[in-house]
Structure 1
Amino acid sequence: MGGEKLRLEGVLGTALRSVRSELRIAFVVGVVGFLATFYALRLFIWPELEGQLLGTKAVVVAVTPFDVVLLQAKIGLFAGLLFASGWILYRSREPLRGRGASFPGRRRTHFFVGALAIALFAGGVVYAYYVFLPLLFAFLISNAVTAGFQPTYSIVDWTQFVFLLVLVLGLTAELPLIMGGLVYADIVSPDLFREYWRHAVFAIVVISSMVNGSPDPFSMSLVAIPMTALYFVGLGTAKVVRRASGNSRGRRSRSGVPAEIDLQNLDAKGIRAAPPEAFATLTEHEALEIADRALDAGDSEKAAAILDRFEARAESDGLVANDSQNDQEGKNGSSGDVSGTVERTASRMAAAFAEEETTEDDIGGYYYDLRFVVGSLRSKSFRIIGVFMAVVALVFTYLYQGGIGEIKRDFLIHLPAGTPTSEVNIVLLHPVEALAFEMKVSLLVGVVAVLPLVLYYAWPAIETRELARANRNVFFVWAGVLALGLLAGSFVGYRFVAPTVVSYLVADALGANMIIAYRTAAFFWLVFATTVGVGLWIEVPVTMLLFHHSGVVRYRTMRTYWRQVAVGVLVASSLLPGGVLLMVGVGFAIILAYGVGLSVLWVDSLGERLVRATT
């Protein structure tokens, strides 16, 4: 017994020493990769990238003292981990083979697949570096200069943007290899790729618009066209792989059950005799397609057989799903635990702001009322979405085609006399910073534009649930007054509030001997908040007055439910991007406007209360 223990300890000690030795070598490889990448970035990579992609039209700056060092360290650390992982995988070949673990196929096949993967990735990187990125940055820089901005990119944002696009296009080039591998592993059939090619092209267009950061058709086509071509190359590769691997006739798995049976080539007897596994993944569309082809060929018996087998499979799946659902409901006690959780959570939130106790039944009523109102909008969702998309497209097109530059020049002209507008520089720290701001503003304007339309269509459901009562045509008047109030408030903010605030900030910075270089998004959000924000702020008391006098929501109801309104405003403002400070600022500004509206309504309804008191 003691001898076996000593022998076991010796084997473990040898294994640990071997692992320790390999980890030391891997650590050295990682350190070498880290240092090589760290110094290559400073000496070769960054100068080459700036010269190739930017030229002299834009500059790259460090915003904080540690930007360059930390970015070099992060990229170097990532490269070092890749080198170390590659070394560990290389040294693990023999132990894995000793345990019987290996990739299918011959060594020559492994070498060919690996070389093909490297070549495809390198091709994607070369295309990104020499074709796509120079054209993209030429467009972004020209658009920024036309709008009056200085392309002064942060080294962190610019490098991450470049590396992300290069990596995405490099991985995208692997699409034919990935599609062929999925077919070889019997995970996906080439027929699926062929059937859903339209969906794939649509997804490629959406991905290309998200990746390049520029919405113009030219930049999108630089990504979408190669990706679409690669998809069809992958489709051809998948067909070749299926013929080479013999999957077209149904290859059997280790358990002896057919992994894939071509139902197209079977007759009626073969379909009825096929095992249930052959119909496990058959969709309704595929079953109808096979039946249609059989009817076209005059084989009605085969069409009936395929439909009978599909219906039997569907009924079996339905029974299983119902049984599992009943079992789950039995474990949970009821099927409404999700809504019950919502009600319990909401009741605890509302109880903290209410003088009287708010029960789960009260919140449950609000929850079901809200769900009923939202459900009533489904039939009108096409119109609502159409108006929203039209407004977003119009606003974004105006801003994108030079509108944002016109706003900047007009705003600087109307600054108070004596303000040195030539000292106000607006810079871009991220290549797509201006485009992101334009899109956010367009979405916000679209939401404001469709709000009266949503309330108009939701009004029958609101009246049904007895949440409010009034003539639905009141919303036409409300929409007109809302538009006038928004325009008037925005005009006041644009001509008086915003210039005063910006002039004060500029004078304060110049008084401290500072060079003014405002970020595009920060500057325009300040202008937006002090112009349109003033108009939106005024809309709150104006809307409250309209609702009171039109009988939609009376003053007494608004005063009674002010705590619920405050909670709802804070929850809604928490969804805004920008952190806690923006949530608190926007939320409390709206709550303050609601308080002003209550004060105005208190004065406005004073006569009514006096008459009621005397009678």
Structure 2
Amino acid sequence: MGREEEKQSFWDHLDVLRGVLLRVFAVILLCGIVAFVFKEELFAFVLAPKYPGFVTYGVIADLCASFGIPYEMKTDVALINTGLAQQFIIHMKTAFCAGFLAASPYVVYQLFRFVSPALYARERKYAVGIVTSAYVMFITGAALSYLVIFPMTFQFLGTYQVSEDVVNMISLESYMSTMVMLSLCMGIVCEMPVLAWMLAKAGLLTPSMLVTYRRHAIVAILIAAAIITPTSDVFTLMLVSVPMCLLYEASITVAKLAARTVRASELKSETLGS
């Protein structure tokens, strides 16, 4: 089946897009309002990594104990507010982010539904796989940041002192901005296999290129992990770098699969042509 036979003018497409955006905005607003109302539950989730009882700290302590590695749990860090309206503004921003995250499956579906009529059936099939994979990988990266990377970063930087005379007073705004930044960064990093698939399908990337530069990539990953989580222990560095290395290895496997499908398609075309 080819593209949609019904031809629409530019203004018709614009009118359809306006309807899609209005529905998307309405769902995001509704989810944001719900998140805003449930303030206690929302910030209990957002502020959980600052407490010593956070689930990740317990898992790391148990793992370190099983391997005989000393692990010192730092005390929780108090957050402060430095602006008159800052807490209310942060509450609104956090509720909006939570609403957007909750509505994101609907947002992706509506946008894809708007674009899909312009695609052939085969293109639509690949697009569904790519969009779904990209969404799942981004959510996975954000979850990894919330559960591992941000707690480790906050525990180290939030309790780091150049002198006992200098007391840390972390602002709520700094806490939230760091969490959002790391979540976005890890979400983008986890798109590596999806990007490898797309580039390999387009012929711009080959598995041999990824294998050749594997050592360089590992060094870059270790440097990036050290920057993301500037802790002094090797265990935390490995905790962050190992998933990134696994993503790189997954990108090699995905690129190989994409290259095979391209070769199979070319052989099929040659066979039909002859």
TM range (shorter): 0.5 to 0.7
Match of 1:35 in 2: 33
Other structure's SS at 1:169 match: helix
Gaps of 5+ in 1: 1-10, 253-615
Q: Which of 142, 165, 169 is residue 182 of structure 2 equivalent to?
A: 165
1:128–1:165: 8 Å Cα contact kept in structure 2? yes
Q: Which structure has the bigger radius of gyration?
A: 1
Q: Matched residues in 2 for 1:12 and 1:174: separation?
A: 33
Q: Give the 3 Å change call, closer, same or farther, for CA 251–91 of structure 1 in structure 2.
A: closer
1:136–1:219: 8 Å Cα contact kept in structure 2? no
Other structure's SS at 2:169 match: strand
- In percent, how many aligned pairs have the same letter? 22
**1:186 shift after superposition:** 1.4
Q: Matched residues in 2 for 1:14 and 1:242: separation?
A: 39
1:60–1:153: 8 Å Cα contact kept in structure 2? yes
Match of 1:62 in 2: 81
Match of 2:202 in 1: 185
Q: Give the 3 Å change call, closer, same or farther, for CA 202–25 of structure 1 in structure 2.
A: same
Q: Matched residues in 2 for 1:189 and 1:125: separation?
A: 28
1:175–1:231: 8 Å Cα contact kept in structure 2? yes
1:120–1:173: 8 Å Cα contact kept in structure 2? yes
**1:201 shift after superposition:** 1.8
Q: Matched residues in 1 for 2:133 and 2:18: separation?
A: 34
Q: Give the 3 Å change call, closer, same or farther, for CA 63–122 of structure 1 in structure 2.
A: same
What aligned pairs does 1:57-456 form with structure 2 within 5 A after superposition?
57-77=76-96, 83=103, 86=108, 88-93=110-115, 97=117, 100-102=118-120, 104-105=122-123, 107=125, 109-144=126-161, 147-214=164-231, 217-246=234-263
Q: Matched residues in 2 for 1:177 and 1:17: separation?
A: 32
**1:242 shift after superposition:** 0.8
Match of 1:558 in 2: none
Which amino acid in the other structure matches residue 111 of structure 2?
L
Q: Matched residues in 2 for 1:182 and 1:134: separation?
A: 33
Q: Give the 3 Å change call, closer, same or farther, for CA 49–25 of structure 1 in structure 2.
A: closer
Q: Matched residues in 1 for 2:169 and 2:19: separation?
A: 48
Gaps of 5+ in 2: 1-8, 53-74, 270-274
Q: Matched residues in 1 for 2:43 and 2:179: separation?
A: 11
Query: What's the Cα RMSD here?
Result: 3.8
Which amino acid in the other structure matches residue 65 of structure 1?
L
Q: Give the 3 Å change call, closer, same or farther, for CA 24–131 of structure 1 in structure 2.
A: closer
**1:126 shift after superposition:** 3.3
Q: Matched residues in 2 for 1:23 and 1:249: separation?
A: 40
Q: Matched residues in 1 for 2:12 and 2:128: separation?
A: 33
Which amino acid in the other structure matches residue 119 of structure 2?
A
**1:60 shift after superposition:** 1.5
Other structure's SS at 1:150 match: coil
CA displacement 1:423-466 (0-9 Å, x = unmatched): xxxxxxxxxxxxxxxxxxxxxxxxxxxxxxxxxxxxxxxxxxxx
Q: TM-score, normalised by structure 1?
A: 0.33
Q: Give the 3 Å change call, closer, same or farther, for CA 158–231 of structure 1 in structure 2.
A: same
2:35–2:42: 8 Å Cα contact kept in structure 1? no
Which amino acid in the other structure matches residue 32 of structure 1?
L
Match of 1:45 in 2: 42
Q: Give the 3 Å change call, closer, same or farther, for CA 13–75 of structure 1 in structure 2.
A: same
**1:81 shift after superposition:** 6.7
Q: Matched residues in 1 for 2:133 and 2:123: separation?
A: 15
**1:145 shift after superposition:** 9.5
Q: Matched residues in 2 for 1:150 and 1:13: separation?
A: 60
Which amino acid in the other structure matches residue 43 of structure 2?
W
CA displacement 1:478-532 (0-9 Å, x = unmatched): xxxxxxxxxxxxxxxxxxxxxxxxxxxxxxxxxxxxxxxxxxxxxxxxxxxxxxx
Q: Give the 3 Å change call, closer, same or farther, for CA 227–44 of structure 1 in structure 2.
A: same
Other structure's SS at 2:251 match: helix
1:165–1:212: 8 Å Cα contact kept in structure 2? no
Q: Matched residues in 2 for 1:133 and 1:201: separation?
A: 21
Q: Matched residues in 1 for 2:255 and 2:14: separation?
A: 45
Q: Give the 3 Å change call, closer, same or farther, for CA 110–232 of structure 1 in structure 2.
A: same
Q: Matched residues in 2 for 1:13 and 1:112: separation?
A: 30
Q: Matched residues in 1 for 2:11 and 2:140: separation?
A: 47
Question: Across the two proteins, how many residue pairs are aligned to each other?
Answer: 236
Other structure's SS at 2:119 match: coil
Q: Matched residues in 2 for 1:213 and 1:133: separation?
A: 11
Other structure's SS at 1:246 match: helix
1:34–1:76: 8 Å Cα contact kept in structure 2? yes
**1:51 shift after superposition:** 3.1
Q: Matched residues in 2 for 1:119 and 1:17: separation?
A: 30
What aligned pairs does 1:8-27 form with structure 2 within 5 A after superposition?
21-27=19-25
**1:203 shift after superposition:** 1.9
Q: Matched residues in 2 for 1:14 and 1:235: separation?
A: 43
**1:248 shift after superposition:** 10
Other structure's SS at 1:38 match: helix
Q: Give the 3 Å change call, closer, same or farther, for CA 35–243 of structure 1 in structure 2.
A: same
Q: TM-score, normalised by structure 2?
A: 0.67
> Which range moved further: 160-169 or 19-28?
19-28
